Chain A
């Protein structure tokens, strides 16, 4: 490849990655629920993607490739953090209960709290599918796990959310009925 083509390809990649930034950030936030960390992870992902862009053979797969880098950055971050024991089974505990915390008395807060408490491996599968719309095969590639594992993790995540959110919704919205004449 001549230098001009290389330069153009690099510039195009930069633009594409910049367009991906909001999506990368949103996914990182859904995993970490921490704005500063999400920003750092997004930035690290873009820098690593630019450094290693020659590894990307098919530009049509840029999305899934960038999200797999984000996943690696996320894992790396917690591996370097001594407080983190096991990335695959870690459950966030923030001390809040949706039914006792007024702040959580909204759909957004309740859902975010419930997603936050999912084990990381389930949370990642769920958000890649629900927020980013990746197919099971793509998620399998991004996270480097078999499709069967994708399905089972997604299943467990949605079961947990169903029991927490739909029951929560029933409990926290008691209806004051009025007889209509």
Chain B
């Protein structure tokens, strides 16, 4: 990695963390237009920051975590809680027996939640992400996608699904070579609420390395980068499931 000697890493960190004055930012911005190495360094730092944010984005306490500020709980409450717990265990066991056959879809559905604060709270938003070219994963991805779309359609329940591919997973969206192309085209034609997204960073890298332009399936949109898209969707309240 080449380094531009004019700006230290500390200054570039301060730049991406918005810690510089207006004039200092102006100087770096004008240098960026002429210096590709400098641009690359800033991109790397921003990418690292994005990765850290993504890695811990959903590491929070469960929403139903009890309020622990007042640790003095009466014996009566403890007794009631114990009874409810035992009751819950039985209900859970019976429910598990009853729905065992749909376990895969239920597991998936558990991750789905409504987007808070949106105008239409009845719409479900799900991002399915694949970064691996394992055919079994592609099959799972497509069957789960089709199941979700079909079941929501039958229940007359609104859902939006974005299928995102990056890294090796981009093979899924490659026109002409993807074994799943036919099914994906069928799904996008049948369901307007299914979006296919390809990672722009991956495509750019592949095109640089091969010198060929990647041909993607119809209706596939290219997003800036997979990490950016995942973070953006999570921020918007979408459910994120990595297949």
Contacts and interface: CB of A to CB of B under 8 A. Distances in A.
Given A25-B60, A162-B45, A179 B51 contact: no
Contacts of B242: 106
Contacts of B54: 107-108, 111
A82 to B, nearest CB: 28
Interface stretch (A16-24, A69-77, A83-91): A16-24
A149 to B, nearest CB: 11
A158 B214 contact: no
A165 B48 contact: yes
Nearest to B70: A14
B68 interface: yes
B67 A158 contact: no
Interface string A105-149: 011100110010000000000110111000110000000000000
Contacts of A180: 176-177, 212-215
B210 A151 contact: no
Nearest to A115: B52
A177 B208 CA distance: 12
Contacts of B176: 180-181
Contacts of B44: 162, 166
A152 B177 CA distance: 48
A152 B11 CA distance: 10
A115 B59 CA distance: 14
B167 A161 contact: no
B55 A175 contact: no
Interface residues of A, number: 47
A21 B60 CA distance: 9
Nearest to A49: B69
Max chain A Cβ within 10 angstroms of own Cβ: one of B9, B133, B214: B9
Nearest to B226: A107
A159 to B, nearest CB: 6
Interface string A1-27: 000000000000010011001110110
Contact of A46 (B68, B205, B215): B68
A165 B68 CA distance: 37
A50 B69 contact: yes
A41 to B, nearest CB: 12
A14 B212 CA distance: 60
A178 B177 contact: yes
B208 to A, nearest CB: 11
Contact of A108 (B14, B17, B55, B215): B55
Contacts of B52: 111, 115, 126-127, 130-131, 161
A161 B51 contact: yes
Contact of B174 (A107, A166, A178): A178
Contact of A155 (B13, B56, B68, B212): B13
B48 A158 contact: yes
Given A136-B19, A155-B13, A180-B212, A26 B59 contact: yes
Max chain A Cβ within 10 angstroms of own Cβ: one of B13, B60, B171, B206: B13
A22 B215 CA distance: 44
A177 B59 contact: no
B236 to A, nearest CB: 18
Max chain B Cβ within 10 angstroms of own Cβ: one of A46, A175, A181: A175
Contacts of B13: 151, 154-155, 158
Contacts of B131: 106-107, 173
B179 interface: no
A43 interface: yes
12 contacts: A111-B55, A126-B52, A127-B52, A154-B17, A161-B51, A162-B44, A162-B45, A166-B44, A173-B168, A175-B205, A179-B212, A181-B176
Given A107-B51, A111-B51, 5 more contacts: A151-B10, A161-B51, A166-B47, A175-B168, A180-B212
